[in-house]
Amino acid sequence: MAGNLIVARSKTEGMLLIALGRWLAVAGPFAALIAIWSGFDSPSILFAGAIFVGFGNGLTLPGANAGVMSVNPRLSGSAAGLSGSATVVVGAIVTPLSAHFASGEGGMYRLLMLIVGIKVISLLTVLYLWRTASSD
């Protein structure tokens, strides 16, 4: 909610906020992973990393949703539906994968590495799209 509030009050360019949100979503779990590797293996460290993911998503999602629907205004309803269904499909794929990674000895490490990996892919995607959009 805090990320959404900042986006609503901000006059900053949408892609900049999306990229900032992705950076925060990578930094939080990565810092949690480093802290756990350093011996601070408390569940609160894991949840602190998750808070950064939530804040980063709050910065990212409003601009991303607006961008999806602004490509072709006549098809904005279809774009919103397709974007929402793609989110559900990816969530359905990643949920059992994350449960598998989190179980057993060292599950917290594997789960955080999965989260960091997914967030890095999302960050690289945003940076690529930002670069290609600015070159047009």
Residue 72 in tokens:
């072709």
Residue 82 in tokens:
């397709």
Mean pLDDT of the chain: 86
44-53, pLDDT tens digit by residue? 988 899 999 9
Is pLDDT above 80 for 21?
Answer: yes
Annotated domain spans of the chain: 2-134
Handedness of CA 66, 68, 72, 77 (dihedral sign): negative
Q: Please give the average per-residue pLDDT across 79-103, as a whole number.
A: 90
Contact 116, 29 (CB under 8 A): yes
Distances in Å between the Cα of 19 and the Cα atoms of 54, 85, 120, 130, 133 are 14, 23, 11, 8, 13
Contact 50, 84 (CB under 8 A): no
pTM reported for the whole predicted model: 0.80
96-133, pLDDT tens digit by residue? 989 998 888 888 889 889 999 999 999 999 999 888 87
Contact 63, 15 (CB under 8 A): yes
pLDDT at 8: 65
